[in-house]
Amino acid sequence: MKKFPFDKTQGRRTLEKQIGYRFKKKALLEAALTHPSYRYENSAESGDNQRLEFLGDSVLGLLAADRLTAKYAEADEGELTQRKSSIASGRALATAARGLGLGEHLLLGRGEAANGGADRESNLEDLLEALLGAIWLDGGLKAARRFFETHIFQPLETGETASLNPKGTLQEFAQKNGFPIPEYQVVEESGPNHARQFTVEVTVNHFAYRGEGTGRRIAEKNAAAKALRSLL
């Protein structure tokens, strides 16, 4: 079983550096990183991250709604709701938590740890929301918004936009990095007229990536998506 790695330890300092926030009240960080299974096995532990997760879930909803309405001024309620749901989904939050390496700091009971609890989507989702709630309590709205923007909104929004519009995202990436505009070329066509199969190659800064599809546009989109996965 892991012993708690905080209060003047390298583990705590490393984590605070990773998230870009130093806690004034270390007990809040301790609680955010304590899974219920660990508390059940350690009578000395007075709490776990469930209350903070409850708070963090609401904070996340508030910050996401505020950020999305500001960024997408012309979007209707349906589109905003869809974007908010995408950012706040369990899979998206788990992805953000993995990007920060939070799982390695999560305190788990023996059974939960043995069954891969450190990388379980639900545990990582709860952990990230608990951490956001802890930051809200420790540093207020400004600190919580900065953490949300840097470690949740920007990475997840970039991923969502890339999946919805890979060609546009790839062109924006090229322009920001001073590369020529990506060029698309059909390199192969096959199949009967009613079921043509296209292979398209996109060139970005002298690197080429190929995508396939039942239409030229689909093949271009798939090629752009492949380029983004490599470049980003």
The catalytic residue positions are 57, 129
| Tokens 């002298």, residue located | 206
Alpha carbon 14 to chain centroid, angstroms: 20
CB 26 within 8 A of CB 40: no
Q: With left for phi above 0 and alpha for psi between -120 and 50, is residue 116 left, alpha or beta?
A: left
Residue 26, Cβ neighbours under 10 Å: how many?
15
Query: Whats the size of the chain, residue-wise?
Result: 232
Q: With the C-alpha atoms ordered 75, 78, 81, 83, is the resulting torsion angle positive or negative?
A: negative
With vertex at residue 92, the alpha carbon angle to CA 90 and CA 93, rounded to the nearest 5 degrees, is 65
